[in-house]
Amino acid sequence: MHPVHIHVSRRSFLKAAAAAAGLPAWFYHESQATAAAAKQLGPNDRPGIGLIGCGGQGRGDCNWAKNFGTVIAVADVDENHAAEAKKQFNAQHQYSDFRRLLERDDIQVIINGTPDHWHTLVNVAAARAGKDIYSEKPLTLTIDEGKTLVKEIRKRKRILQVGSQQRSDGKFRLACELVRNGRIGKLQHIIVGLPTGPREGPFAKQPVPTGFNWDNYLGQTPWTEFNGKNHHWNFRWWYQFSGGQMTDWGAHHNDIAQWGNGTERSGPIEFDGKSLVAMIPGGYDAASRYRVECRYENGVTMTLIDESTPHERGVVGEGKKTPNGVQFLGSEGWIYVSRGEIRASKTELIETPLPGDAIRLYKSDNHMGNFFESVRSRKDPICDVEIGHRSISVAHLAVISVRLGRKIRWNPKREEIVGDKEASSWLKRPMRAPYDWSFIS
C-alpha cells in the first residue's frame, strides 16, 4: 500500500489552528505574524528564583517560571509544603521565614504564591531587597496596601507582574480590542459573572497540624483558632484573609472589564452592593451570593454578580444564570468572553477584521514569559503593579459596599471614598503585631 500524501495549504492550516484556539482566523493570523516568542534563557542567563508560598498555586506558578530561570530556594510556614516544593524544583535551600530567602544574593526573582493577606508584605519586602516579583492575585488585602505597594515598586524601579493571566489570552485581548474600537457601538453596560462562593459551617476548633506555624500563617490578621477550614485553599472564603469570589475571581474579570472600558488605571465612581443570602454563623463569612451595581464617570455601568443569580440584561445566560465571564453590551450588539470562548450577538462582530489604524492593546501570549522579558528589558509587563492595584480596588470597594449594605461613592483620582467616614475606615485594616510593617523594616 502506498502512503497517501495530503497537501494542507498554509491558509487551511491557519484556519484550523485558529479554530482550535477559539479565535477568528484573521486575528490568529495577525497574532502569529507579530508574535515574539518568549526567549528561553541559556545556562549563563537564567535568573535565580525564590518561591515564597509553596501551596498548589505557588508551585504551579513556579513550575511555569522554571522554564526561564533556576529555582534556588523555597519558603513556607508549612514545613510539608516547603519540603514538597524543594523536592519538586530541586531547590538547594528551604526556609520557614521568607525574609531569610530575600537575603540571598543569588536570587533575582520572587514568585509570590502566599495567601492574599501576605501578598503585600512579601511584595514590599522583595522590592526593598532589590528583587523582581511575579505576584499571585488578588494583589492586596486592602486598597491602602495597594497604594503603598505601587509607591514602593515605582520608587525602587522593580518589575512586578500580577498573575492575571487572562491578559495573555488572545480571546480576552480580542474582546477588549473590539470593544475599544467601537465594534459593538457605544459601550453601555458590563456584566461580570463570578462563581458562587461556598456557604458552609459552623466549624469547630481543631489541633494545628505538625510543622505548621499557625501564628505566622495568620500574620497581620486577628488571632483566631484553627478549624481545619481556615487555611490553605479555603482561606479565600474568610473575610479575615480575603474577600471570597468577589476578590478571588473578581481580580481576573474586573481586570478584563477595566481593560475593555479603557479604565485600567482608574475605576468606577459608585458602588451599590448587597449580599443575597445570609452566611452561616461560625462558618465561611465572605459573601457567597451577591450583586453590585457600579457606575463609571464615562457613563458605563457595570454589574458584578454571582453565577447563580440571573441578570435581566444577560445576553448569554438567557435568564437562567449569569455565566462566569465578562459581557460587554453596547448600542449595536454584545460580546461575551470567558476562558473557554468568545462570542457575540452577530458573528460578523468577531469575524470581521479590524482596520489597520485600529486601537491595539499590549500583546502577550505567555504571561510568565512576558514577566521574564520585562525583567530583562526593564519595561512594564502586561499587568503591572498599578493595573493590578486598580483591578482589585474594584473588588475591594464592592466588598465594602456589600458588607455595609449601602451605596458608596469613590473618587478614583484621589483614591478616596467620598463623604462616608465609616466606609473610608475600611480602606485599611489594623495589623496584628509583630506582623505589621515593622516585620519587614
Query: What pLDDT does residue 15 have?
Result: 63
80: nearest Cα among 208, 210, 231, 207: 210
User: Which of 46-55, 219-228, 317-326 has the weakest average pLDDT?
Assistant: 317-326
CA atoms of 274 and 264, how far apart (whole Å): 24
Rounded to the nearest integer, the mean pLDDT of the chain is 93
**Amino acid at site 410:** W
Q: Cα-flanking dihedrals φ and ψ of residue 161, to 5°? A: -105, 125
CA atoms of 385 and 434, how far apart (whole Å): 26
Taking 70 as the threshold, does the pLDDT of residue 317 lie above it?
no
The neighbouring-strand residues paired with 334 are 329
Query: What pLDDT does residue 377 have?
Result: 96
Distances (CA, A) of 72 to 11, 229, 281: 45, 31, 44
In this prediction, residues 365-392 reach a mean pLDDT of 98
In this prediction, residues 286-313 reach a mean pLDDT of 96
139: nearest Cα among 156, 122, 119: 119
Residue 45 has which C-alpha cell?
542567563
User: Which of 12-16, 114-118, 279-283 has the weakest average pLDDT?
Assistant: 12-16
The neighbouring-strand residues paired with 134 are 111, 161
For the whole model, what pTM was predicted?
0.93
Residue 361 has which C-alpha cell?
492593546
Query: What pLDDT digit, counting tens, does each position of 164-205 carry?
Result: 999 999 999 999 999 999 999 999 999 999 999 999 999 999
* Angle between helix 25-33 and 170-180 (nearest 10): 110
Which of 10-14, 29-33, 307-311 is the most confident on average?
Answer: 307-311
Taking 70 as the threshold, does the pLDDT of residue 4 lie above it?
no
In this prediction, residues 386-413 reach a mean pLDDT of 98
26: confidence class by pLDDT, cuts 50, 70, 90: confident
Are 136 and 163 spatial neighbours (Cβ–Cβ below 8 Å)? yes
Query: What pLDDT does residue 5 have?
Result: 46
161: nearest Cα among 140, 132, 138: 132
Q: Is the peptide bond before 202 cis (omega within 30 degrees of 0)?
A: yes
b (16+ CB within 10 A) / e for 225-242? ebbebbbeebbbbbbebb
Query: What pLDDT does residue 33 have?
Result: 64
Query: What pLDDT does residue 17 have?
Result: 64
In this prediction, residues 316-345 reach a mean pLDDT of 92
What are the sequence ranges of the domains in the chain? 167-356+386-440
Taking 60 as the threshold, does the pLDDT of residue 325 lie above it?
yes
Q: Within 13 Å of residue 387, how many CA atoms lie on the same side as its CB?
A: 25
Query: What pLDDT does residue 393 have?
Result: 98
In this prediction, residues 239-255 reach a mean pLDDT of 98
In this prediction, residues 98-126 reach a mean pLDDT of 98
Question: Side by side, which strands form the sheet with 93-95?
Answer: 93-95, 70-75, 48-52, 109-112, 132-135, 160-162
User: Which of 8-12, 49-53, 116-120, 382-386 has the weakest average pLDDT?
Assistant: 8-12
Query: What pLDDT does residue 1 have?
Result: 45
Task: For domain 167-356+386-440, give the CATH number.
Answer: 3.30.360.10
CA atoms of 395 and 302, how far apart (whole Å): 12
24: confidence class by pLDDT, cuts 50, 70, 90: confident
315: confidence class by pLDDT, cuts 50, 70, 90: confident
Taking 90 as the threshold, does the pLDDT of residue 361 lie above it?
yes
Query: What pLDDT does residue 145 have?
Result: 98
In this prediction, residues 18-47 reach a mean pLDDT of 69
CA atoms of 154 and 84, how far apart (whole Å): 34
Query: What pLDDT does residue 267 have?
Result: 98
Query: What pLDDT does residue 21 have?
Result: 77
2: confidence class by pLDDT, cuts 50, 70, 90: very low
Query: What pLDDT does residue 30 have?
Result: 77
Query: What pLDDT digit, counting tens, does each position of 66-101 carry?
Result: 999 999 999 999 999 999 999 999 999 999 999 999
Instruction: Work out the angle at residue 363's Cα, subtended by the Cα atoms of residues 168 and 340, and round it to the nearest 5 degrees.
Output: 35
Query: What pLDDT does residue 35 have?
Result: 54
Query: What pLDDT does residue 37 have?
Result: 47
Q: Within 13 Å of residue 110, how many CA atoms lie on the same side as its CB?
A: 35
Taking 90 as the threshold, does the pLDDT of residue 31 lie above it?
no
For every residue of the chain, which 3-state class applies, written as one string? CCCCCCCCCHHHHHHHHHHHHCCCHHHHHHHHHCCCCCCCCCCCCCCEEEEECCCHHHHHHHHHHCCCCEEEEEECCEHHHHHHHHHHCCCCEEECCHHHHHCCCCCCEEEECCCHHHHHHHHHHHHHCCCEEEECCCCCCCHHHHHHHHHHHHHCCCCEEECCHHHHCHHHHHHHHHHHCCCCCCEEEEEEEECCCCCCCCCCCCCCCCCECHHHHHCCCCCCCCCCCCCHHHHHHCCCCCCCHHHHCHHHHHHHHHHHHCCCCCCCCEEEEEECCCCCCCCCCCCCCEEEEEECCCCCEEEEEECCCCCCCCCCCCCCCCCCEEEEEECCEEEEECCCCEEECCCHHHHCCCCCCCCCCCCCCCHHHHHHHHHHHCCCCCCCHHHHHHHHHHHHHHHHHHHHCCEEEEECCCCEECCCHHHHHHHCCCCCCCCCHHHHC
24: nearest Cα among 173, 166, 165, 164: 173
Query: What pLDDT digit, counting tens, does each position of 44-65 carry?
Result: 579 999 999 999 999 999 999 9
Q: Cα-flanking dihedrals φ and ψ of residue 270, to 5°? A: -150, 140
